[in-house]
Amino acid sequence: MNRAQEREALIWGLVGVVLFAATLPMTRLAVGPVDAQQLSPWFVTFGRAAVAGLLSVAYLLWQRSRGHLNVPCRAEWPLLGITAFGVIVGFPLFLALALRHVPSTHGAVVTALLPLSTAVLGALWYRQRPSAGFWACAVLGSGLVLGFMAWRAGGFYLGAANIYLIIAMTTGAFGYIGGARLTPSLGAEQVICWVLACSLPLTLPVAWWFAPAAPGAISAMAWMGFAYVALFSMWIGFFAWYRALALGAVRVSQIQLVQPFLSLLFAVPLLGERLDLVTAGFALAVIATVFVGKKMPVHQRAAA
């Protein structure tokens, strides 16, 4: 990857991270806490995918009318399935289930672990050999974020919520890399659109089943959170993110280290959380590891 491609990858990655950063507080708004429940986590998960899936069908038909439609070949359908499992079902469902029981600051531990998981999978799938310095920065950055979240939440929560977060992190990493593998042949926009459109036979019925019986009883803020995760978290954000990962999955994944702190910034006006000096200090430390890490060499494995 030359310098121009690296710069392009980092720009697209930053756009994706900024859009994804509001996912946690917006999901928290959509589902509500246990003592003030709003939308069902199952409806938020499958409903947002259904809305984005209908938009994707329209987008694919538009591309077809322009003669720019890329149809997946037979060998690509398994990757589409992996991507759908990760980014449509696994990550959003278990994140929504967790955020009903824990605050968004604790849920941000998922986005802290995603860069390292994505980097590991990216290195394996793309046959890359990150340097020891790269891994040191990735581990240090993840450790800083995890340490901050533990301090912020007063210790890690035990029980089902943490299990949900671990599953969300793992499945999300698979979905990111699966989509990145498909992007060179299908294009960043069409990858997520094909995944969402092909998932409609599942997402539409499940969303209908878990739809609120009295939509008017749901707060306007909850519906706003749902609209955001449907349009930006589930659809537009992936246009930028998959394009970035396809250009450089291992290096771009480090940008996501700053996502938890961007989530906190969004959570201040949305959820009333306070941004203190300790939070700012941790944010600067993590950003420093990202800056140093992207300077470390990443090599392509020699062909066997």
> Tokens 């094909």 — which residue?
194
- Res. 216 pLDDT band, cuts 50 70 90: very high
Mean pLDDT of 164-176: 87
Nearest Cα neighbor of 263 from 171, 179, 152 is: 152
Query: What span, in angstroms and rounded, lies between the C-alpha atoms of 10 and 286?
Result: 16
First to last CA, the chain: 20
| 45, two tokens | 């998960």
Amino acid occupying residue 202: L
Element of type H or E holding 128: strand 128-130
Max mean pLDDT range (12-26, 135-149, 275-289): 12-26
The answer, yes or no, to whether residue 59 has pLDDT greater than 50, is: yes
Percent of the chain exceeding pLDDT 70 equals 91
Mean pLDDT of 143-166: 73
- Res. 153 pLDDT band, cuts 50 70 90: low
* Alpha helix positions (H), 103-236: 104-107, 109-125, 132-153, 160-186, 188-198, 200-209, 220-228
The answer, yes or no, to whether residue 171 has pLDDT greater than 70, is: yes
Mean pLDDT of 51-80: 95
Average pLDDT, the chain: 85
The answer, yes or no, to whether residue 111 has pLDDT greater than 60, is: yes
The answer, yes or no, to whether residue 226 has pLDDT greater than 90, is: yes
The answer, yes or no, to whether residue 4 has pLDDT greater than 60, is: yes
Q: How many residues does the chain have?
A: 304
Diameter of the chain by CA atoms?
A: 61
Mean pLDDT of 57-80: 94
Mean pLDDT of 45-72: 96
Query: What span, in angstroms and rounded, lies between the C-alpha atoms of 280 and 267?
Result: 14
| 7, two tokens | 């710069």
Mean pLDDT of 131-141: 84
Query: What span, in angstroms and rounded, lies between the C-alpha atoms of 51 and 73?
Result: 25
Tell me, what's the pLDDT at 303?
A: 46
Query: What span, in angstroms and rounded, lies between the C-alpha atoms of 123 and 73?
Result: 24
